Amino acid sequence: MPKNPPIELDYEPLEDSKDEFIGRQVMKALGPPKDLLKLKVMPVAGDKYRVNIVTGPDFANGRIAHSFFVTVDPKGKIVSSAPPIIKKY
């Protein structure tokens, strides 16, 4: 699996939990969808996480619009993603 270059951020995970910090990195790289309902970060194993972005007009009609498996360093910085996170919004 090819590695993505690390996402450059202008802040560190000082007040965020690791999950919140990972979610903020994904949203910064992807851009915020206008119909965002939920951003869910779930640990998978060790330094690997699944990140789902749910969009839609309401929760009854929401769908997973984007899903990424990310690998993070010990501080929570994303070092790779499958699929690559590309700016969409």
The structural domain count of the chain equals 1
Phi/psi for 50 (5° steps) reads: -110, 135
| pTM of the predicted protein model | 0.81
Flag whether pLDDT at 17 surpasses 70: yes
Flag whether pLDDT at 14 surpasses 80: no
Of residues 24 and 10, the one with the higher pLDDT is: 24
> What's residue 55's pLDDT?
98
Q: Would 4 be classed as within a structural domain?
A: no
Q: Would 9 be classed as within a structural domain?
A: no
Mean of pLDDT over the chain: 89
Name the band, by pLDDT with cuts 50, 70 and 90, for residue 16. Answer: confident
Q: Would 72 be classed as within a structural domain?
A: yes
Name the band, by pLDDT with cuts 50, 70 and 90, for residue 6. Answer: low
What one-character DSSP code corresponds to residue 75?
T
Q: Would 13 be classed as within a structural domain?
A: no
Structural domain containing residue 68: 18-82
Name the band, by pLDDT with cuts 50, 70 and 90, for residue 59. Answer: very high
Beta-sheet strands, E only, within 22-62: 36-45, 48-55
